[in-house]
Amino acid sequence: MRTSPAMLLGLIIASCSSALSQQTVIQLWPHATPEKPVAAGVETDVTQPGDGLINGHRSARLTNVSHPTITIYRPPANVTESGAAALVFPGGGYQILAWDGEGVDTCTWLTSIGITCLLVKYRVPNDGRYPDSFAPLEDAQQAMRLARLHAREWRIDPARIGVVGFSAGADLAVLLSTHPDDHHVESTPAASEADARVDARPNFAILVYPAFLTSQSDDTKLDPARTPNTFTPPTFLIEAENDIYGRNAPLYYQALASANIPAELHMYATGGHGFGITPKGEPEEHWTDLAKLWLRSLGVIPKP
């Protein structure tokens, strides 16, 4: 039997829906972002044919993001919901967002283990990194506060909402883990949209090949603005020794240990930067199995 284009499209949609259920998109700042956007045009996918693959496929690389959002992905019908949730921050050097490879693909994994995925599209590009630019941290704080405000509606436990970040997104996860109380937004036109009474602290953090954690003048030292403190939750770190940012995870782990914050570090001999989340045979690509065990040990998801 010949398959018509309409039937083929229906099959594709059904296949995608069975693997990942996208429910809704929420604007972080419905009326106005805290500052005037740095973006110099409309939101665009700037992926080029020669760009490297993530998880074996070409990932959308979004830039000129001036209207940040949360996209909510719930576990599929055949997976028991744990009640836990995680904000996901794709990487991209604060210039683009590796949307599929580090965002949507991560939601596929999280929802497969019963965790509601809250994929955050934060503002890029930025004209620096925190504290020179506040925008990504403002978006991360607002995303966490909205998650807790809507916890009952979204069927999630406000005491089990963590963060998963990749590269620059891992840096953003660290910033939210150390500066959930940053009140910069309260001096902006968007102050009325941010309820500072709602706790923005994550309950756990997973940092995948983190970047930008070291001092800009000395990459053997942790940036003071990213030093763990009383807000910082239990943290899971993954990095490859041949990553161009290979010092970041070990330095942050040492700081976590010094602060008596529960942490787990996995360093791989190979993998470089940006190896993603989908296992294809290399050791570093199986980190999600270890992360799942770690989440169980914390009680974020139930033990079998």
State the residue for tokens 């500052």: 35
Which pLDDT does position 128 carry in this prediction? Answer: 86
Secondary-structure percent of the chain, ordered helix, strand, coil, rounded to 5 = 30, 20, 50
Residue 183 · residue 190 · CB < 8 Å: no
The three-state secondary structure class of 209 is coil
Quick one: tokens of 88?
């996901």
By C-alpha distance, which of 134, 133, 158, 130 is closest to 145?
158
What whole-number distance in Å separates Cα of residue 144 and Cα of residue 200?
Answer: 5
Mean pLDDT per 10-residue interval, the chain, length 304 residues: 34 38 85 82 90 84 95 95 98 96 95 97 92 94 96 96 98 98 87 88 98 94 97 97 95 98 95 83 82 97 92
Give pTM, 2 decimals: 0.91
Q: What pLDDT sits at residue 280?
A: 66
Residue with token string 């949209």 = 193
Name the residue with tokens 């744990």: 82
Q: What is the CATH topology of the domain spanning 21-298? A: Rossmann fold (3.40.50)
For 219, residues 6+ apart whose C-beta sits below 8 A from its C-beta are: 247
170 φ, ψ to 5°? Answer: -70, -35
Residues in the chain: 304
> What is the per-residue burial (b if ≥16 Cβ within 10 Å, else e) of 56-89?
eeebbbbbbbbebbbbbbbbbeeeebbbbbbbbb
Q: What is the Cα Rg of the chain in Å?
A: 19
